[in-house]
Amino acid sequence: MALLEVSQLDVRFALRQGEVRALRDVNFTLERGERLGIVGESGAGKSVAAFSLLNLIAKPGFIAGGSIKFEGKTLNTMSERGLRKVRGNRISMIFQDPMMTLNPVLSIGEQMVECLKAHRRISTKEARGIALDKLRQVQIPSPEKRLDQYPHELSGGMRQRIIIAIALLLDPDIIIADEPTTALDVTIQAEIMALLLELCEQHNVGLILITHDLGVVSQVTQRMLVMYAGRVIEQGPTREIINDPQHPYTQGLINALPQMATPGEKLNQIRGSMPSLSNLPSGCAFHPRCDFINRADGQPRPACTQQVPDFVDSGNCRVACHMVAEMLEDRRLKEESL
């Protein structure tokens, strides 16, 4: 049994204009100590996916279907009390903006002790000891001093280190990190990512890393999901997807990176932009931007505009694309006739 098992997750937002489906048919598993990346552009649903894992979706959003199982227990039907034992304790989160996550009127030490005492029956002194130990693990200079400092006294990189220390405080099984380095500079980003990776490996903690940066995902994770307009469109081992993307959107996303083009030449852009979730195109949501909606013989493939593609297995990856499905089918028929 996988540590975390998400199946057929369906998240909707009940808006005045009607229901918007922010997430549909999301399926994935996470093993102990595994690192999974969720990639997509803004509005693709990656943060909604992260928040829904801990049932943190705020109204008007709600989980309309599917299940999230952690060690066999279904999280999305669990009581608030039960969830509180999981949140922060077994599964912790790191958010994008460290200033928003830390409480500005409490010292670092107070916040860490508060978190420990909420989950364990220990004395303040013991809690401070654990906090100090975690601050040492995230390599903060003079950790004793930091316990009595306030968030505004620290730099962005330092704050994010403290967030990581807090996330590790209760020795969780999984850390969900939502764009943990987006607000930071490149050199600081590299340090923080290296630290996070090192700590996850050391303590055998599973990591779900949400980011728009394909470079970061390819450096850190073992498996990845690519999201587009609320659906997962491709998932599989990170290396295989980066080296040989199957879905036209994933291909477009990787080819659009400046490092994939000859300097000075035109970049391979994807035309158009992501549709709004309240007004999705029919069939495959990507079809208006896709270059592969025609068959090999030049005729348009009706399925692309009419039918939402199902997942097909292509090697170790799963892809939701009619073109890929057709290609695999052709190959299978050819092999059969041989």
Partner 1 sequence: MNAQAETIAVTPTQNEESNESLLQIRGLKKRFSLSGDFLEQLRFKGGKLVRHQEYVHAINGVNLDIKRGEALCVVGESGCGKSTVARTVMGLISPSEGEIRYDGQRIDNLSSKQLLPYRKRMQMIFQNPYASLNPRMTIQQTLEEPLRLHHPDWSRQQILDKVEEVMRSVGIDPDWGKRFGHEFSGGQRQRIAIARALAVDPEFIVADEPISALDVSIQAQVLNLLMDAQRDRNLTYLFITHDLAVVEHFGTRVAVMYLGTVCEVATTATLFAKPRHPYTQALLSAIPRLEDDRPQHIRLTGEVPTPVNLPSGCVFHGRCPYANARCKQEIPALKTQDDGTRVACHAVEEGRL
Q: Binding residues for partner 1, per CB under 8 A?
A: 41-42, 141, 155, 157-158, 185-191, 193-194, 212-216, 218-219, 239, 242, 252-254, 256-259, 261, 263-264, 266-271, 273-274
Distance of closest approach, residue 104 Cβ to partner 1, in angstroms = 20
Give the SS3 label for residue 207: strand
Closer of 68 and 94 to partner 1 (Cβ): 94
Q: Which two tokens stand for residue 93?
A: 């989160």
Q: How far apart are CA 235 and CA 222, in angstroms?
A: 11
Shortest distance in whole angstroms from residue 68 CB to partner 1:
27
Measured CA to CA, the distance from residue 201 to residue 190 in angstroms comes to 17
* Residue 29 or 255 having the CB closest to partner 1: 255
Q: Distance between CA atoms of 76 and 57, rounded to whole angstroms?
A: 11
Q: For 112, left (φ over 0), alpha (ψ -120 to 50), or beta?
A: alpha
What are 132's two structure tokens?
């100090």
The least CB distance from residue 100 to partner 1, in Å, is: 17
Q: How far is the CB of 283 from partner 1 (least distance, A)?
A: 20
- β strands within 217-293, DSSP E: 223-228, 231-237
In the bound state with partner 1, the residue whose beta carbon lies nearer, of 114 and 288, is 288
Burial track 109-136 (b if 16+ CB lie within 10 A, e otherwise)? bbbbbebbeeeeeeeeeebbebbbebbe
DSSP, collapsed to helix, strand or coil, labels residue 87 as strand
Task: For partner 1, give the closer residue by CB, 214 or 232.
Answer: 214
> Among residues 41 and 97, whose Cβ is nearest to partner 1?
41
C-alpha dihedral (239, 240, 246, 247), degrees to nearest 10: -40
Q: Rank residues 190 and 328 by Cβ distance to partner 1 and give the closer one.
A: 190
Whichever of 17 and 259 has its CB closer to partner 1, that residue is 259
Here the contacts of 133-139 (C-beta below 8 Å, separation 24 or greater) are 134/165, 134/166, 134/168, 134/169, 135/108, 135/162, 135/165, 137/165, 137/168, 137/199, 138/162, 138/164, 138/165, 138/168, 138/195, 138/199, 139/195
